[in-house]
Structure formats: C-alpha cells, structure tokens
C-alpha cells in the first residue's frame, strides 16, 4: 500500500510516517516546512519506500499526481498551536479550510480513503465533560482570534462528512486531544516541551492563566495506533472519533510533575493570558475526551501513562 501523509514532516506526521514505513508501506510526504522540519524525517529520509515533497497542499498541480499515485491519504497538514494562531489568524484560516477542501476534492476524484486530523478545540468552551463526539460545540466570539482555529477544524469536519454523505467518499475524522511526545516543539505554545526544556535548564516555568485549567495528554505512539486502526477499519468511515488519554491534570500540577521528573530547581511563575499572547485570550477550563466510540469500533484505548510519556520526552530532549 502507498500512503500520502500531508504535514508528514511535523511532529505527529513524522511519527505516523515512520510507523507506516515500519509496517511495510510506501509513504509520500508533502510538507511546506512552515511548522514541520527536515530534522523530523532525518531518521528515515533514505528509506527506499519514502518520498518527500516540499510543497503546499493548496497547490493543485502538485497534489493531484500525489493523490492519484496513493491508496490512502492521512491529512494532517494544518496551522497549529495557540501561539501561531494568535499571531497569524489569516494563515490559519486559509491553510486549514482551503487545504482540506483541495485534499477532499482530489481524493474524491480518485476515490481515495481520507483521514482528516481534527482537534479537541472543536468543543470550544463546552463544559459537558467528558466530551462525546456528537455533543454540541460552544465557541467564543469571532472577535477573539483564538477561536478561529476551532472554527476552521469544525468546517474541515463538515466538509469531510459532506463528501462522505454526498459522494460516498470514505472519510474518517479524528479529534486529537493534546498529543505529546519526542519531536514536539514548544515554539508554538505547546506546553509540555516548553516546560521540559525550561526545567532541564532550571529556568522559570511560565504558567499561562491560573494554572487550574486541566488537560489530558496522549502519547503520540498510542495516537498513531488509533489512527492506523481507524484507517484500516471499513466500518469507521463517515464518523468522528476522539483520540486521547482521559488522565486529567491541571497545568500547575503538570509543571510540578515535570520539575520532579527532571530533578529541576525551576520555579513557577503565573502569567496572565493577555501578557503571554499580547492580546485577550479565552481558554477551556477542562478538556477530557470520551474514547468509548473508538474503543468500540477498533478496541483502542491509550496505554502509556503521563509519567511514562514525560520521562520519554525528557530523555529525548537531553540528547544533543
């Protein structure tokens, strides 16, 4: 089988590509390297079944032959990270919606099964924890660019489900919940690598907001198991699936845990959102997934604890 992975030089995309190659598939990756990096694909760039194309998924002339030559598409390319979204909302909207529209149109032309990576951000400010895939979504004001990402991913989902309903295209939608692991960068506001990098240098850990907001962090290898399992499941098409861990922790507790695991002398500092992001910023107080749907259809559930995951990331960041 040949897979096309959009955004395959990114954090999650590179782990997915590595696993697909290990399983004996050929993989083509397209990435414009705006948030991905060549370093992420360094370990397998010379694999005989691997092909890398530096390009934009919105370029029809580049995308069409790639889709025609593949058997399945993992669409992970997107503008990600709260920091990036706050700084460049136009890029976020154009990339996420325009890119997905092009991917789906070409996939439909050639009848290629497509998995779309969505996000827990879609749930917005909902307080109906744990989140179920068919729950209502509650987004904030359009005056706050923070919600533009959630809105773009919701539109991506609408598009994917519409192509499935109207044209019969095999589409699977996965809502990722705070995926973490080696290769993730703290550059765009990702809290775990940012905290660990600071802790290893005994620098102050800046906690945005009160630190009482909770998150559930899923190890990237666990997430990849679910993604591949859903792509290989014929009955999975036309539905949305949460993929995440349901081990809930506050951001302040996360900082304390990372200080302990790294043996750091770091202190904690609480920074208001408007200072951290340079503008007003709303946040979700809790973000906990229900994973019953994905467990029921493919038997998946997360295996790696947060402590184990943080230790793996710490060891990877210690390496030169």
Among all residues, which ones are annotated catalytic?
A: 149
State how far the Cα of 179 lies from the Cα of 163, in Å rounded to an integer. 27
Contact between 206 and 277 (Cβ < 8 Å): no
Residue with tokens 């397998």: 44
Contact between 179 and 12 (Cβ < 8 Å): yes
State how far the Cα of 170 lies from the Cα of 111, in Å rounded to an integer. 8
Phi-psi region of 81 (alpha: psi -120 to 50; beta: other; left: phi over 0): left
Contact between 281 and 148 (Cβ < 8 Å): no
At 275, phi and psi to the nearest 5?
-80, -45
- Name the strand (E) or helix (H) holding 228: helix 220-231
Q: Which CA distances in Å does 168 have to 109, 113, 160, 254? A: 12, 10, 11, 43
**List of residues 6+ apart from 15 with CB closer than 8 A:** 181, 183, 220, 221, 224
State how far the Cα of 165 lies from the Cα of 48, in Å rounded to an integer. 37
Residue with tokens 């990756």: 29
Q: Which CA distances in Å does 138 have to 19, 86, 129? A: 35, 19, 13
State how far the Cα of 214 lies from the Cα of 4, in Å rounded to an integer. 34
Q: Which two tokens stand for residue 277?
A: 């992001």
């Amino acid at each position: 089988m040949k897979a096309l992975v959009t955004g395959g030089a990114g954090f999650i995309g590179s782990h997915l590509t590595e696993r697909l190659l290990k399983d004996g598939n050929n993989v083509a990756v397209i990435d414009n390297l705006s948030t991905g990096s060549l370093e992420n694909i360094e370990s397998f760039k010379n694999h005989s079944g691997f092909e890398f194309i530096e390009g934009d998924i919105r370029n029809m002339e580049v995308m069409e032959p790639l889709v025609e030559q593949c058997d399945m598409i993992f669409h992970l390319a997107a503008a990600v990270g709260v920091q990036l979204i706050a700084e460049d909302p136009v890029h976020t909207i154009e990339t996420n919606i325009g890119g997905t529209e092009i991917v789906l149109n070409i996939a439909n032309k050639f009848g290629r099964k497509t998995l779309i990576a969505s996000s827990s951000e879609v749930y917005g400010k909902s307080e109906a924890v744990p989140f179920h895939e068919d729950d209502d979504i509650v987004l904030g004001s359009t005056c706050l660019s923070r919600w533009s990402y959630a809105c773009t991913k919701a539109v991506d989902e609408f598009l994917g489900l519409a192509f499935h309903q109207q044209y019969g295209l095999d589409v699977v939608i996965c809502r990722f919940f705070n995926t973490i692991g080696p290769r993730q960068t703290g550059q765009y506001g990702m809290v775990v690598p940012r905290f660990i990098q600071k802790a290893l240098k005994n620098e102050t850990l800046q906690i945005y907001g009160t630190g009482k907001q909770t998150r559930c962090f899923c190890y990237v290898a666990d997430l990849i198991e679910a993604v591949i399992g859903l792509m290989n499941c014929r009955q999975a098409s036309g539905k949305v699936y949460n993929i995440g861990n349901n081990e809930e922790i506050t951001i302040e507790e996360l900082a304390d845990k990372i200080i302990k695991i790294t043996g750091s002398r770091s202190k904690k500092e609480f920074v208001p959102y408007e200072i951290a992001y340079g503008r007003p910023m709303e946040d979700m107080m809790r973000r906990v997934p229900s994973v019953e749907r994905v467990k029921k259809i493919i038997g998946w559930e997360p295996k790696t604890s947060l402590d184990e995951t943080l230790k793996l990331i710490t060891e990877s960041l210690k390496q030169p």
